[in-house]
Structure 1
Amino acid sequence: MSESDLCVLLSNALENALHACVPLAAEGRSCEIDVNFYERNKGVQSICAIVQRYGGVFSFAEKDGKFTLRLSL
């Protein structure tokens, strides 16, 4: 799969998830979006390189089998 196709797929999925959370937030309810994906080769390194290229910051954490990526661009 090309990187551009992957980006479109992921961004559309996240946008749809965010739109689904809007009504819940309006009711004062919380909404959690879980994203799970697996990359065979250097997925984390490519994320770091892209974030750094745009002057952003990132952090990774793992707790109780849950991997969390936080980034700001």
Structure 2
Amino acid sequence: MNTLNSLFTGRTLFTSKTLFACRTLFTLCTLYTLCSLCTCRTLHTLRTLRTYRTNITLYTLTTLNTLHPL
């Protein structure tokens, strides 16, 4: 009976540690995924803004050049 009891206790500890590790990994993966999505979105937004700014600058230069040729 003592052996069964110690086996049960060891198994319970192992199971709870495994569950805790799985939960921790799941939480870390979720946070990593959310951060990656956020970072990707932010980078995409910055690239888009940079592209718009470049296009506006080019458009302005072209317009100025058309109005006042060098």
TM-score bin, normalised by smaller chain: 0.3 to 0.5
Query: Which TM-score applies when normalising by structure 1?
Result: 0.34
Q: Looking at both structures, which has the greater relative contact order when contacts are Cα pairs under 8 Å and sequence separation is at least 6?
A: 1
The structure with the greater share of residues assigned to strand is 1
- Larger helix percent: 2
- Mark the structure with the bigger radius of gyration: 2
Q: What is the TM-score with the length of structure 2 in the denominator?
A: 0.35
